[in-house]
Amino acid sequence: MSTYKLVCAHCRGRMRIRTSEGTHIFLRVAYVQCTNEACGWSVRAEFEMTHEMSPSGMPNPSVRLPVASVVMRRQAMKTADDQPDLLDQMEMECAK
Ligand SMILES: [Zn+2]
């Protein structure tokens, strides 16, 4: 869980995941807190599996996710090249 590089939107400090819980097989809710004691910003975050990029080698018939579109696949290739962190993507989402 700590492999995500989460950056505080307020002070740019590093954020850590305090706790997380699975609410659904595809959805995980996390409570994230800034490690900068002077800041201490704390948020709720969601991590959701939304689309299938590649099928499983051990498929469970009850697991159904929409297959990723061509646009999403291109985005994934771009992401692999640029290696941006998760928060950069989240910030882009928020900026819309
Ligand atoms: Zn902070």
Ligand 1 mean position to 1 CA, how many Å?
19
- What is the pLDDT at residue 32? 94
Predicted confidence (pLDDT) per residue in 2-16, tens digit: 445 789 999 999 999
* pLDDT at residue 90, rounded to an integer: 54
Ligand 1 centroid to Cα of residue 13, in Å, is 5
Q: How many CA atoms lie within 13 A of 54 on its CB side?
A: 2
Domain ranges (residues) in the chain: 6-95
Tell how far the Cα of 11 is from the centroid of ligand 1, in angstroms: 4
Dihedral, CA of residue 68, residue 70, residue 76 and residue 81, to nearest 10: 160
Walking along the chain (96 residues) 10 residues at a time, the average pLDDT comes out as 74 92 88 96 94 94 92 84 54 47
Q: How far is the CA of 36 from the centre of ligand 1 (A)?
A: 6
DSSP output for 33-76? EES-TTT--EEEEEEE---BSS--SS--TT---PBPPHHHHHHH
The pLDDT of residue 69 is 93
pLDDT of 14 reads 94
